[in-house]
Chains A and B, each alone.
Chain A
Amino acid sequence: MIHSLFLINASGDIFLEKHWKSVVSRSVCDYFFEAQERASEAENVPPVIPTPHHYLLSVYRHKIFFVAVIQIIISFAQDYFGVCSELMIKDNVVVVYEVLEEMLDNGFPLATESNILKELIKPPTILRTVVNTITGSTNVGDQLPTGQLSVVPWRRTGVKYTNNEAYFDVIEEIDAIIDKSGSTITAEIQGVIDACVKLTGMPDLTLSFMNPRLLDDVSFHPCVRFKRWESERILSFIPPDGNFRLLSYHVSAQNLVAIPVYVKHNISFRDSSSLGRFEITVGPKQTMGKTVEGVMVTSQMPKGVLNMTLTPSQGTHIFDPVTKLLSWDVGKINPQKLPSLKGSVSLQAGASKPDENPTINLQFKIQQLAISGLKVNRLDMYGEKYKPFKGIKYMTKAGKFQVRT
């Protein structure tokens, strides 16, 4: 059970506090600050810190620490306001407060489905702000969200749209570790189907796949009828209104995963001289003919590196001599002319050569391709009479994609 919540920004100020039971002095956060000091980096602060009277749980997102809270609150904030920043929270302090109030009672989660919260307390928009100032109406809904009481708690009743549309995005992220020689050490796919459904009434949708066998490790939005999936491998559901994550799935390391890009690298530091060579080339591998775009290469250089003099064949690159982070924004890969980054590395004079070559982290995007091969077969709607507009998009992205050198 959550007793209190403190939001702490990067400079260590508590800028919001909320108590669900008796007030706990904000001095408990001192234990947290102590732990923060001990940890070298923000992400190394232990998530659980025991203190004599309380246990502090911390969650770190968007450069803000949420001490003593569950993560769902952050995702709500993103959903509500689009971004989750300190400024945003400060601006909307009252709304945040009201939402927190609704989410937990006595520290026990009460309503965390964002659809329902949105109905209880309407999210601020510019239009609403204007309307409110003129008419003096409020952000607080005075009706109990109908969903709370119906058999479909995730959907409100009486939804109406003039354009009925249902969009589904199949987004896959590849997590991979590639070794020095270019062979895959481990690769897995983490996929989600995000939906944006704006349909009138109580539509009952079914979504079927060409190759449902791929999906053997899945988690569903509560709206999905599990039994139907078990027996027929068909997703049958009454969708929540608006944006939601219908399904996430995992194609494990045991399966063969196609790797869409390769990195050729030649990074060497010599013992004798204070100069090192650096050269990397990125190229497409198994992309099924699609373009690889949004390519971004980052690499954490060893401490001994002073500076880097590099020339890219395309894109822009930055080396930060303080954090020793090299990042190269490549853009699109043209298979005829592979992008490369070449040059020299200058090392601290007198320092010994670093014993590890840096790992290369890769970001990329491929539109219109689900790398696992998953394909939606058809989407049908029952229960309502109109014809909805349907759309499906595929995308493959790099997740934690690392190349060891």
Chain B
Amino acid sequence: DIYLKQMLESSKDSAKLDAMKRIVGMIAKGKNASELFPAVVKNVASKNIEIKKLVYVYLMRYAEEQQDLALLSISTFQRALKDPNQLIRASALRVLSSIRVPIIVPIMMLAIKEASSDLSPYVRKNAAHAIQKLYSLDPEQKEMLIEVIEKLLKDKSTLVAGSVVMAFEEVCPDRIDLIHKNYRKLCNLLVDVEEWGQVVIIHMLTRYARTQFVSPWKDDEVVEEYSENNFYESDEEQKEKDQKVKNTYTMDPDHRLLLRNTKPLLQSRNAAVVMAVAQLYWHLAPKSEAGIVSKSLVRLLHSNREVQYIVLQNIATMSIQRKGMFEPYLKSFYVRSTDPTMIKTLKLEILTNLANEANISTLLREFQTYVRSQDKQFAAATIQAIGRCATNITEVTDTCLNGLVCLLSNRDEIVVAESVVVIKKLLQTQPAHHGEIIKHMAKLLDNITVPVARASILWLIGEYCERVPKIAPDVLRKTAKTFTNEDDLVKLQILNLGAKLYLTNSKQTKLLTQYVLNLGKYDQSYDIRDRTRFIRQLIVPNEKSGALSKYAKKIFLAQKPAPLLESPFKDRDHFQLGTLSHTLNSRATGYLELSDWPKVAPDPSVRNVDVAELAKEWTGILGKTKKEKPTEKFYSESEEDEDESSSTSASGRCLESNLHLPCLKNSIFRTGHYLKRIRKKFKKSQSYVAAPVSVPTKTHELLHRMSGKGLAAHYHFSRQPGIFGDRMVSVQLTVTNTTDQKIENIHIKEKKLPPGMRMHEFNPIECLEPAGSITVSMGIDFCDSAQMASFQLCTKDDYFNVNIQPPVGELLLPVTMSEKDFKKEQGMLTGMNETSATIAVAPQNSTRLVIIEKVVKAANLGVVPSGQDNIHRFAAKTVHSGSLMLVTVELKESSTAQLIINTEKTVIGSVLLRELKPVLSQG
């Protein structure tokens, strides 16, 4: 220790680092290193980042024990909280909040508040984590912390979302009202949140949805309730009304939003996320939709034993209520001899739940293999399962019973014993004609030693002693001999057997019974002695015995209800699936109850977000639509807003952009926005749209006749401007009927368009004769992006998913302008707005005519007259936003050329550049 201290006090960083490493090693092994605290804490301000980190590790471990000394380090952290490096700010906050010293609570509170409005989302994320830590240190701070949570919930960064919801769940899970305004945002962000955050958010939203939406389950119970109601009320009108309410259930769009946005997460690689979505669908989706989770859950079965264990438990619970969900996957639950026992028994449980008339014979064959398993515990469980199948499915009761009887001759005692117990239960359900089996079992008594099995046989013989009148007294005789050596369980049953025989066949068994009762009287166990005393009083008539003994026979030989064989998972579903409580089948601390659906939905408008806020939130996406708004003032304000936030570089804003939308649009907007002012200037000199120079004949296939069941469709871009409004690209669609029957009512349905995109459909084609073909026009506003427009092409009785992806060349309208104008515009569109490439030009392409022909064929460009022979210029504007697109082809020596594109729509520009390259270089 002294040595370590010396090292820590040395001036060399390497010695300090070495010492710190050893100390952390000690901590990891659980050795006490608290004596070094003063020496270590001095190094908290070390410049060396690795030493610093290790000191942090040390502080978090020992600060609680050495509070006074720990205070020495606080000022260092306070300084670090102001550091320009976000990483240092974040880690300072993290360590500060991990030091569990109550005196610094106010400092922590202050730090959290400040960090929650930090520019860096990473720091804000750490602030959210710190909330929970402070709360557990001092719950008094709850109110203040809730304020911070409320603020952070509004945060739009995907980085923060998971952490703040976690804090919400810890600190104030009952403040559902804080979620309302953020609900839609959380649903929309969900896909992009990191995995562990997704899990937390999904669980929270599940609880939220159960308090806010009405039940989507139109289950049978409800129907029953209704019919009962009529019975009492006999009010026809009321009934009609009720049924109307029932029939017109429409799901709240927000409820649907949650289901829709969580569905893709079933594809997550993280088992916890898949499980979370599965439980969400189970608790929230209409019963017909919950089935989609089965496939993903079955997929999880391939992972480790721990994951399997949890997933199988949840499937077990689900499969009781809704067999249909997992029936197709029956075989995935077949047991392998290498599975651990707990996995085997869970699979068996599920197989039993899934058993029905159709699959029972396959299952029983499979069970036969399991019964022979070397894992005897599992074999026993299989026998129980067979018993359950036998009672649940009456068709196979006899088969099962016979099978079980065969097992009675098994060599393994555990198997036999379990069979006896199960047979006992089965016989009880239908004792009428099973005298033979009982006799067989009586014989077994000589060999079998497992107490439960012996007890079961004795009980059976006693219960049905009248069916085996000859054997029963003999069994009693034998067991009376061995009475003293039996297990308590068996002794009790011997007494029972004696009593029952005494009542039915006292002539033969009176003495034997009394002998047994005498043995019981002096037994070591209280239980046996008590029982003996009770039985003697009840069955042997004497002057003291009361009125009860008259009824002794009725008491002992009463018809007993057959035991119900049911799944141990039957009632587990009152716990939320996927929770620790569900796994343990008992309430764990911190479990948050899932409420029942409300009868009437609370006001859905609480989730509405103010227009101003919404506009701010989605500037990135709605940018273009806003230009149409006449409210100039409002627009410019929000634009400034946007300016500010994007100048904070990599912070929040760019994280928001939905990853799955191709980044195309966002970047278009951003550049477009910076250039707003420039654009205003040249708007006056804007040129006129010209007629297309060339109309390409190339058609694209929309629907092949094979996949369209005889309906074929092709489309081509007709380059006719403004038929359907000036932002639409017109598309000509040729539909052909290749079948020998009429195709009726061809129309468009189910458009799945990216946000902002619009489509003008063609009028439905009422009828298309065999071998007939018809051409119709439609318009699509692609929003200046090369994204696909997906929709369904429907006929009277079929539908086909199709999509149109425009070449960027078709997103343009040619314009005419003078060379001077062209140069002027080009001068304004330089820098980032210019993309260029050097290309090889095939020799036959180097004449002016060929170049023009090729270029205008590939893209809808207008030709600009040019003074120089080697320079060719083309101009167009984008269909949607009318941004200029200037193309220059400058021929150089040795058959190369410079291709330059100037436009503020840089993305389209670069795509166009790529598409034009091969046009000129190929012959």
Contacts and interface: CB of A to CB of B under 8 A. Distances in A.
Contacts of B410: 355
Interface stretch (B329-337, B392-400, B698-706, B852-860): B329-337
B264 A226 contact: yes
Interface string A373-405: 000000000000000000000000001101010
The 9 closest A-B pairs by CB, nearest first: A138-B50, A186-B331, A356-B372, A109-B196, A144-B87, A253-B331, A359-B337, A47-B306, A43-B340
B274 interface: yes
A296 B515 CA distance: 65
Contacts of A93: 24-25, 28-29
15 contacts: A47-B310, A94-B21, A94-B25, A101-B56, A112-B195, A138-B17, A143-B87, A151-B663, A219-B268, A220-B268, A226-B191, A227-B660, A250-B299, A356-B374, A404-B369
A46 B341 CA distance: 10
Contact of B28 (A17, A232, A356): A17
Given A17-B28, A93-B25, A186-B331, A402 B657 contact: no
Contacts of A46: 309, 342
B302 A190 contact: yes
B302 A18 contact: no
Interface string B106-150: 000000000000001110001001001100100000000000000
A50 B584 contact: yes
A220 B269 contact: yes
Given A93-B24, A225-B659, A355-B372, A26 B30 contact: yes
A30 interface: no
B803 A186 contact: no
Interface string B152-166: 000000010001001
Given A47-B310, A226-B191, A17 B24 contact: no
Contacts of A190: 302
Given A59-B304, A222-B195, A231 B64 contact: no
Nearest to B200: A108
Given A16-B29, A404-B369, A142 B274 contact: no
A185 B13 CA distance: 65
A323 to B, nearest CB: 13
A185 B48 contact: no
A149 B302 contact: no
B29 A225 contact: no
Contacts of B104: none
Contacts of A55: 580, 584, 588
A110 B25 CA distance: 23
B659 A151 contact: yes
A260 to B, nearest CB: 19
Contacts of B87: 142-144
A149 B122 contact: yes
Interface string A94-106: 1011100100011
A253 B328 CA distance: 9
B823 interface: no
Contact of A175 (B302, B411, B586): B302
A232 B662 CA distance: 14
A185 B250 CA distance: 44
A124 to B, nearest CB: 12
Nearest to A401: B336
B302 A108 contact: no
Contacts of B132: 106, 108
Interface in A50-89: 50, 55, 57-61, 71
Given A22-B64, A144-B86, A105 B94 contact: yes
Interface string B290-307: 000001101100101111
Interface of B: 13-14, 17, 21, 24-25, 27-30, 48-50, 53-54, 56-57, 61, 64, 85-87, 90, 94, 98, 100, 120-122, 126, 129, 132-133, 136, 159, 163, 166, 191, 194-196, 264, 267-269, 274, 295-296, 298-299, 302, 304-307, 309-310, 328-329, 331-332, 334, 336-338, 340-342, 366, 369, 372-374, 410-412, 580, 583-584, 586, 588, 650-651, 654-655, 657, 659-661, 663, 752, 788, 790, 803
Interface of A: 14-19, 21-23, 26, 41, 43-44, 46-48, 50, 55, 57-61, 71, 93-94, 96-98, 101, 105-106, 108-110, 112-113, 136, 138-140, 142-144, 148-153, 175, 177, 185-186, 188, 190, 217-222, 225-228, 230-232, 245, 248, 250, 252-254, 300, 302-303, 352, 354-356, 359, 361, 399-400, 402, 404
A311 to B, nearest CB: 26
B194 A153 contact: yes
B5 to A, nearest CB: 19
Given A138-B49, A355-B412, A356-B374, A148 B267 contact: no
A198 B167 CA distance: 38
A186 B334 contact: yes
B337 A105 contact: no
A32 B799 CA distance: 59
A138 B268 contact: no
Given A105-B94, A144-B122, A252 B329 contact: yes
Contact of B329 (A21, A26, A253, A303): A253
A59 B306 contact: yes
Contacts of B27: 97
B814 to A, nearest CB: 28
Given A142-B87, A226-B191, A148 B332 contact: no
A106 B98 contact: yes
Contacts of B337: 300, 359, 402
A89 to B, nearest CB: 9
A94 B24 contact: yes
B296 A18 contact: no
A23 B61 contact: yes
Nearest to B411: A352
B296 to A, nearest CB: 7
Given A149-B159, A245-B269, 14 more contacts: A21-B100, A22-B100, A44-B340, A94-B24, A97-B24, A97-B57, A144-B86, A217-B299, A219-B299, A226-B264, A250-B295, A250-B298, A252-B332, A300-B337
Nearest to A152: B659
A60 B340 CA distance: 12
A361 B342 CA distance: 20
A263 to B, nearest CB: 15
B121 A218 contact: no
A4 to B, nearest CB: 11
Contact of B29 (A15, A105, A361): A15
Contact of A219 (B13, B57, B274, B298): B274
B269 A250 contact: no
Contacts of A61: 304
B28 A218 contact: no
Contacts of B129: 105-106, 108, 110
Contacts of A47: 305-306, 309-310
Contact of B655 (A15, A142, A151, A188): A151
A325 B194 CA distance: 44
B331 A185 contact: yes
B35 to A, nearest CB: 16
A399 B303 CA distance: 11
A94 B85 CA distance: 25
Contacts of A44: 340-342
B331 A41 contact: no
Instruction: Give the residue among A18, A19, A149, A152 with the most B Cβ atoms within 10 A.
Output: A149
A113 B85 CA distance: 22
B688 to A, nearest CB: 35
Contacts of B584: 48, 50, 55
B132 to A, nearest CB: 6
Contacts of B588: 50, 55
Nearest to A58: B306
Contacts of B196: 108-109, 112
Nearest to A15: B29
A149 B120 contact: yes
Contacts of B122: 144, 148-149
